[in-house]
């Protein structure tokens, strides 16, 4: 079964602390993994794709096929990082396929 698991509903950290938002997946084929972010009262925005291997706003995520994980990390959290973060997957090179979302993790960064 295709599934994305984000085990933490809420993650609270202090400004400057490292952040790791966990994501595990279950997929029979070769998946493409994404992180989306939703700031308060705003639309879902693409943050990262595993294929592009880029760093956006200081966030990185590495696909670990052995552990079927795609954890999102940032070494030093900022208050403006407070948002809802969704891990999602789709079939690799399968244009038009549905995104399967995890339940999301709320990141709260306080000073």
Partner 1 sequence: EPEVTQTPSHQVTQMGQEVILRCVPISNHLYFYWYRQILGQKVEFLVSFYNNEISEKSEIFDDQFSVERPDGSNFTLKIRSTKLEDSAMYFCASGKGSNGYTFGSGTRLTVV
Interface residues with partner 1 (CB under 8 A)? 32, 34, 36, 42-46, 49, 51, 86, 90-104
The Cα–Cα gap between 105 and 99 comes to 17
Q: How far is the CB of 59 from partner 1 (least distance, A)?
A: 14
Least distance to partner 1 from the beta carbon of 76, Å?
Answer: 25
Cα–Cα distance between 75 and 81 in angstroms, integer?
A: 12
Which residue lies nearer to partner 1 by CB, 45 or 110? 45
3-state secondary structure 34-49: EEEEECCCCCEEEEEE
Cβ-based nearer residue to partner 1, 50 or 77: 50
Nearer to partner 1 by Cβ, of 6 and 71: the residue is 6
């Amino acid at each position: 079964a295709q599934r994305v698991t984000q085990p933490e509903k809420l993650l609270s950290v202090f400004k400057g602390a490292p952040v790791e938002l966990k994501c595990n997946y279950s997929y029979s084929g070769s998946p493409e993994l994404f992180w989306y972010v939703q700031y308060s009262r705003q639309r879902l925005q693409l943050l990262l794709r595993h294929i592009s291997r880029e760093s956006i706003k200081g966030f990185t995520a590495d696909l670990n096929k052995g552990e079927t994980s795609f954890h999102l990390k940032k070494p030093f959290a900022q208050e403006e990082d407070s948002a809802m973060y969704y891990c999602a997957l789709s079939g690799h090179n399968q244009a038009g396929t549905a995104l399967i979302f995890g339940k999301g993790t709320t990141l709260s960064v306080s000073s």
